[in-house]
Amino acid sequence: MVAACELRGIHRRFGRYWALVDINLQIQPGEAVLVCGPNGAGKSTLLSICATLLRPTHGELLLFGKEPRKHRAEVRAKMGYLLHQTLLDDALTAEENLRFYAALYGLDQVDARVRKRLEEAGLAHRAKDTVQTFSRGMRQRLSLARALLHEPDLLLLDEPLTGLDQQAKDALCERLALERQAGRALIIVSHELPQLMGFSDRVVRIDGGRIVQDQPIAEAIA
C-alpha cells in the first residue's frame, strides 16, 4: 500500500536553528496520527512541510508516492487543510464560502457538494447566514466542510479543537472519526490528546525537532 504521506530523513533549518532533525514518518490511508509536543518542538513546521507550504532543507517528502515538486497540482488536489486560520470570508454566507472554494478547485456538481457538506456540518439551516454571525465552533465546522469539499485523501489539521466548547469539540471529533472511517488519512497537531485519542491510531511526539515517541495509541496510554 502506498503511504498517503511519507517523510524520509527530513531536516528543516531556519538560519542557524534546526526546527526538524532527521524526521522519518509514514501515514497510511485511513490512519489518524496525533502529533504532539511542547511549544517550539517543530510540530507546525512538520505540518507545513506535509502541506507543501514549506520545503525541507534536507530529506524527501512523498505524497501518495509522488514528489510534490514534480506533481504539485496533483498532490495538492488530494489534500485538505484545517489550520489556525479558518480561511473563510466573514462577509460571505456559509453557502457562498463553499461555492467560492468549489470554483477555486474547479469542482463539478457544486450544488450537491455544498448541500452535502453543510448538512454534515449541521449548518444547512444557516446556509444563507454570513460567517460573521457564527460562533467559533460553527466557523470550525464550516472550515472543515471547506477542507472536505473536494473529497481529499489526506487531511492536515493544526490544533482543530482550540477555542471550542465541549459540545463543539465532541461534534468535530465525531466528524473526524467518520472521515477516518471513510478511508482518509489524518495528521492532527494538538495539545488536547484525550479528546482525539478515541479515533486515532498512533501518537507521535516531537521534542527539539526530533521524534521521541511513535507508538500505537493502545501502547501510549497503557
For residue 15, give Cα distances in angstroms to 19, 147, 194. 10, 32, 35
Last residue of a domain, one of 128, 151, 174: 151
Q: Return the closest-CA partner of residue 158 out of 38, 51, 29, 10.
A: 51
Q: Same domain, yes or no, for 23 and 74?
A: yes
Task: Give me the residues paired with residue 7 across strands.
Answer: 25, 61
Please tell me what DSSP assigns to residue 30.
T
Nearest to 11 by CA among 59, 45, 43, 71: 59
- For residue 216 the three cell numbers come to 500505537
pLDDT in tens, 63-99: 999 999 999 889 999 999 988 778 899 999 999 999 9
| Residue range of the domain that includes 18 | 1-78+159-222
Total domain count, the chain: 2
Which pLDDT band, with edges at 50, 70 and 90, does 168 fall under? Answer: confident
Q: How far apart are CA 59 and CA 79, in angstroms?
A: 21
Residues 198 and 219 in one domain: yes
pLDDT tier at 222 (50, 70, 90 boundaries)? low
Q: Looking at the structure, do residues 36 and 142 belong to the same domain, yes or no?
A: no
Q: Are residues 10 and 59 in the same domain?
A: yes
How does pLDDT run across 193-216, given as a tens digit for each residue? 888 998 899 999 999 999 999 999
d(CA 113, CA 98): 9
What's the burial of 154, exposed, middle or buried (CB within 10 Å: 0-12/13-18/19+)?
Answer: buried
| One domain for residues 145 and 172 | no
Q: Domain check: are 97 and 145 in the same one? A: yes
Residues 113 and 54 in one domain: no
Q: Mark whether 4 and 64 lie in a shared domain.
A: yes
More confident: 52 or 163? 52
